[in-house]
């Protein structure tokens, strides 16, 4: 049996961030992942600006190394397509100039097989992080002085004063210990495939979100990757999938083959992977994320943005916060649930406002007319387009989207 102060279950973005931050706080830890890296993870592969910010906060040199990673596409913005089929390019930065791009792009698209392996390589650079790959943690027993964690056969065991749970959307710990269960109205189903040769991709790597009428409140996406590849997928609320008895794989194949715009763009495209699906646990409901001697992070803590489906940034943020709380607990030698709750408070202090706002915007996205109106107006109105760019950074500006007065002003000023 291995004894440690902190055991991190999972080496995805949440677990890696936790371990890397612990190492920067001079706390050694054990990280256990059931996979052997490099491993794939079903995802849109979109890395928002939050990802770089989070890594820079752990250590600027990690952010610098990510910027140097070859296997990623720079992304300077998003193309939204409304149900009316009006399309609008919104740059991540209001001063974006396609002819004179300067600095670091605000986003990247990077296959998870590469991005997560980048993070694991960072773990391997740290002598105080002991990483076990190909090793699952399946049983968790709370004892007086810590958690006993073992695999199903009981052949591998770790005793830890504190556990950081970072094992993703299907975490058994989340269900069995924290008592958090999947609720279809707070959960999305997503599928993804890689295609080669999709035409009409944006020259500056804009990611594309298509709010097709048949999929609302979900969307179809195309995210450009290096070497002429694209990540293509669908994400939609699980409650809607159930109600409409949707087969997402069929829905996606139908769009690619029959949608009047997409069938042209996919005419010469070839499928470069299988079509895989996975769950997205949404942060549209506040939950208890910790208890005696444990903290849930990333998808295991249901922290995915309910509007955009982004979870990597929030996974990194929560992992880092968990490491900081772990340091405080170890120093005080106090792991009671009441103390661990400071972790919940900090996570929701940092991410709560944005999650709440995205929940409200997610509900608005269901209203086709509102979407079409917003898009049509923005196409004509430069000021509004600039405002939308700023919304990627400014949460207070994004709040405007949920206020009726915002739409009234646009109605009165449609220049
Ligand atoms: C279809 C789809 C599209 C998405 N698109 C995007 C996007 O474009 N951008 C974005 O930001 N987010 C996206 N997300 C969300 C994103 O994938 C997650 O939020 C993110 O991966 C969460 O990171 P994590 O570290 O919490 O979990 P994960 O990345 O799932 O990592 C969990 C790790 O735990 C390990 N593990 C699991 N069980 C055990 C066990 N019992 N013992 C040991 N190890 C275990 C796994 O092997 C894995 O390595 C998407 C999700 C889906 C499903």
Walk me through the domains of the chain, giving residue ranges and CATH numbers.
2-68+110-181+284-361 (3.50.50.60), 75-104+184-281 (3.30.9.100), 366-412 (no CATH)
CA nearest ligand 1 atom 16, residue? 311
> Is there an atom of ligand 1 within 6 Å of 298 CB?
yes
Tens-binned pLDDT, residue by residue, of the chain (415 aa)? 999 999 999 999 999 999 999 999 999 999 999 999 999 999 999 998 889 999 999 999 999 999 999 999 999 988 989 888 888 888 887 778 888 787 888 899 999 999 999 999 999 999 999 999 999 999 999 999 999 999 999 999 999 999 999 999 999 999 999 999 999 999 999 999 999 999 999 999 999 999 898 888 889 999 999 999 999 999 999 999 999 999 999 999 999 999 999 999 999 999 999 999 999 999 999 999 999 999 999 999 999 999 889 999 999 999 999 999 999 999 999 999 999 999 999 999 999 988 988 888 777 767 777 777 777 777 777 766 766 666 666 666 666 666 666 666 655 555 4
**Cα(312) to centroid(ligand 1), Å:** 8
**Cα(114) to centroid(ligand 1), Å:** 14
Q: Which residues of 302-328 are buried (b: 16+ CB within 10 A; e: fewer)?
A: bbbbbbbbbbbbbbbbbbbbbbbbbbe
> Is there an atom of ligand 1 within 6 Å of 251 CB?
no
> Is there an atom of ligand 1 within 6 Å of 42 CB?
yes
> Is there an atom of ligand 1 within 6 Å of 136 CB?
yes
Q: In a mutational test of the pocket of ligand 1, which residue from 153, 160, 168 has the highest number of ligand atoms less than 8 Å from its CB? A: 168
Q: Which atom of ligand 1 is nearest to the CA of 13?
A: 25
Closest CA to 105 of 115, 114, 96: 96
3-state helix, strand, coil split of the chain in percent (to 5) is 40, 25, 35
Residues 72, 231: contact at Cβ < 8 Å?
no
> Is there an atom of ligand 1 within 6 Å of 107 CB?
no
CA nearest ligand 1 atom 6, residue? 44
CA nearest ligand 1 atom 52, residue? 43
């Amino acid at each position: 049996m291995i004894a440690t102060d902190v055991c991190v279950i999972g080496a995805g973005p949440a677990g890696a961030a936790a371990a890397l931050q612990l190492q920067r706080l001079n706390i050694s830890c054990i990280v256990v992942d059931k996979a052997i890296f490099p491993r794939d993870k079903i995802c849109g592969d979109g890395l928002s600006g939050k990802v770089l910010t989070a890594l820079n906060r752990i250590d600027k040199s990690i952010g610098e190394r990510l910027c140097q990673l070859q296997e990623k596409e720079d992304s300077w913005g998003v193309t939204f397509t409304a149900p009316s089929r009006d399309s609008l390019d919104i740059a991540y930065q209001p001063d974006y100039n396609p002819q004179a791009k300067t600095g670091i792009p605000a986003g990247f698209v990077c296959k998870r097989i590469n991005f997560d392996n980048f993070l694991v390589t960072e773990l391997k650079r740290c002598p105080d992080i002991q990483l076990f790959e190909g090793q699952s943690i399946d049983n968790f027993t709370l004892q007086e002085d810590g958690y006993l964690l073992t695999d199903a056969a009981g052949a591998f065991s770790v005793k830890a004063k504190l556990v950081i749970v970072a094992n993703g959307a299907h975490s058994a710990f989340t269900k069995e210990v924290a008592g958090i269960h999947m609720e279809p109205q707070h959960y999305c189903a997503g599928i993804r495939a890689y295609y080669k040769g999709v035409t009409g991709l944006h020259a500056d790597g804009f990611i594309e979100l298509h709010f097709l009428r048949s999929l609302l409140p979900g969307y179809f996406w195309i995210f450009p990757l290096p070497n002429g590849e694209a990540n293509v997928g669908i994400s939609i609320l699980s409650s809607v999938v159930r109600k409409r008895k949707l087969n997402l794989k069929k829905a996606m194949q139908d769009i690619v083959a029959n949608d009047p715009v997409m069938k042209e763009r996919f005419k010469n495209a070839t499928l470069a992977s299988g079509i895989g699906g996975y769950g997205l646990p949404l942060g549209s409901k506040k939950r208890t994320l910790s208890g005696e001697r444990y903290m849930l992070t990333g998808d295991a803590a249901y922290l995915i943005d309910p509007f955009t489906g982004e979870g990597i940034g929030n996974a990194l943020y929560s992992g880092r916060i968990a490491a900081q709380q772990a340091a405080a607990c170890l120093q005080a030698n106090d792991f009671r649930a009441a103390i661990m709750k400071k972790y919940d408070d900090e996570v929701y202090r940092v991410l709560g406002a944005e999650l709440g706002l995205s929940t409200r915007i997610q509900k608005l996205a269901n209203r086709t007319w509102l979407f079409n109106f917003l898009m049509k107006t923005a196409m004509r109105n430069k000021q509004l387009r600039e405002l939308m760019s700023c919304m990627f950074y400014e949460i207070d500006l994004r709040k405007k989207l949920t206020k009726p007065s915002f739409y009234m002003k646009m109605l009165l000023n449609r220049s």
